[in-house]
Amino acid sequence: MTNTALREPTLADLLPISDSKDYWQHAACKGDPNHEAWFPYPSQDFDYARAICESCPIRRECGEFAGRTGQSGVWGGHEYDRGKLIRD
Ligand code: SF4
């Protein structure tokens, strides 16, 4: 067994590469190990994720993708619930 097999999955592993158009390789969150920060509880802020999104070159595409495909969590610096924008 290799170290790669043992490592924790990163956020990039969770991104839907089937819709990629190579966008996701530019994701600022790629490799971020802090998974919970991207799926906050309603009582939690998402300042950590939002700060990373602010410098992301695919921010607009990411938010559009989340809305179009019904994603939940922080995408494009905003929080979505099944594709609906719930926190700006
Ligand atoms: S906008 Fe945010 S969630 Fe989307 S790819 Fe960039 S860093 Fe990741």
pLDDT in tens, 12-68: 666 655 555 677 888 999 999 999 999 999 999 999 999 999 999 999 999 999 999
| 15 close to ligand 1 (CB < 6 Angstrom) | no
| pTM of the predicted protein model | 0.80
pLDDT score recorded for residue 11:
63
pLDDT score recorded for residue 88:
92
Domain span at 49: 8-87
Interhelix angle 47-54/59-69, rounded to 10 degrees, is 120
Q: Is residue 1 part of a domain?
A: no
Q: Is residue 81 part of a domain?
A: yes
Q: Ligand 1 centroid to 77 CA: how many Å?
A: 7
Q: Is residue 3 part of a domain?
A: no
Q: Is residue 26 part of a domain?
A: yes
The helix or strand, by DSSP H or E, that contains position 11, with its residue range, turns out to be helix 11-14
Q: Is residue 2 part of a domain?
A: no
| Number of separate domains in the chain | 1
CB atoms within 10 A of CB 88: 7
Q: Is residue 37 part of a domain?
A: yes
Residue to probe by mutation, ligand 1, list 15, 23, 35, 59, most atoms within 8 Å of CB = 59
Q: Is residue 25 part of a domain?
A: yes
Out of 7-11, 26-30, 62-66, 83-87, the most confident range is 83-87
